[in-house]
Amino acid sequence: MTTTLTLHEDPTTLDAAAWDALLAASPAPTPFLRHAFLAALHASGSACAATGWQPVFMTLSDERDAGVLRAGAALYLKTHSYGEYVFDWAWADAWERAGQRYYPKLLGAVPFTPVPGSRLLARDEAARRALLQGIEAFAREQGLSSAHLLFLDEADRAAAAAQGWLLREGVQFHWSNRQPEPYADFADFLAHLSRDKRKKIAQERRYVREAGIRFDVRRGAEIGAADWDFFARCYDNTYREHRSTPYLNRAFWAEVARAMPEHWLMFVARRGDERVAASL
């Protein structure tokens, strides 16, 4: 097989159908690696060279299957370590105190999104290995300090370990419904908790009711422009309350609302007629 590795500095120019087909064939696909999501990050100016996220997406193709990608990775040249939710500031400091330049580094990740999933999109193990080798070769050719892959699925971790990459250990907490007999409803879930935990949850929910809070739940196209405006204000305000700068702008929310509405579920909390909070 004759394969070609290609770098793309603008993800919006990638064939969306070919990229999404590659994602669908991966072991752990998530909506956050869909072409529409990544393209919106770039087109909105949220993740681009100006914000320290220079795209260098890498794809692998072969001559026999024109238009079909064998592998691909969303890669960025990073001039800082913000927006990754993995903290390598100590590495950067040590490397630069040793007289070396840490940035730019090469990063394979979904910007601002610490959700585990496939990062090395590949149709088979041979393509995954070739993609990893391409990433390594690019980092060496460019004289970069390091290459990083964040929040990998198990197939990617195994491939990286086999290739000699160093593995970080991280911990996330995820709730999954009970198997093989899922909880019938929320009351059934509470019934299986200890008395103290059940009491605390019931108390917290009573406080919300007594405060007069109710929730609107909206899916996909039901989420209107005014809802997105309100959510964006909540998002911006949350960052400012923590004395930080929002990563995602209103143009990004507008684009993903248009391009991939089926993936969104929004909760809006109200006190009377006033909207007071939102979750997406």
Q: Does residue 95 surpass a pLDDT of 90?
A: yes
Average pLDDT over residues 211-221: 96
Question: What are the structure tokens assigned to 246, written together?
Answer: 């929002």
Closest CA to 148 of 187, 104, 93: 104
* Distance (Å) of CA 46 to CA 4, 38, 53, 67, 151: 30, 10, 9, 29, 20
Task: Specify the pLDDT at position 64.
Answer: 78
User: Above 70 in pLDDT, residue 1?
Assistant: no
Rounded distance between C-alpha atoms, residue 117 and residue 156, angstroms? 9
Residue 72 pLDDT greater than 80, yes or no: yes
Provide the whole-model pTM.
0.93
Q: Are strands 57-62 and 3-8 parallel, antiparallel or unpaired?
A: antiparallel
* pLDDT digit string, tens, across residues 133-143: 999 999 999 99
Per-residue pLDDT at 130 exceeds 80? yes
Quick one: pLDDT band at residue 2, thresholds 50, 70, 90?
Answer: confident
Average pLDDT, the chain: 95
Q: Are 31 and 237 in contact (CB under 8 A)?
A: no
Q: For position 3, what pLDDT does the model report?
A: 83
Model confidence pLDDT, tens digit, residues 4-50:
999 999 999 999 999 999 999 999 999 999 999 999 999 999 999 99
| Coil, helix or strand at residue 86 | coil
Residue 263: is its pLDDT beyond 70?
Answer: yes
pLDDT at 65 over 80: no
- Read off the pLDDT band of 66 (50, 70, 90): low
CB–CB of 44/232 below 8 Å? no
236 three-class SS: helix
pLDDT of 113 above 80: yes
Q: Which two tokens stand for residue 189?
A: 């879930």
Domain residue ranges in the chain: 3-162, 212-279
Find the mean pLDDT for residues 220-245.
96
Q: Which CATH number fits domain 3-162: 3.30.460.80, 3.20.20.70, 3.40.630.30, 3.40.50.2300?
A: 3.40.630.30
| Percent above pLDDT 90 for the chain | 95
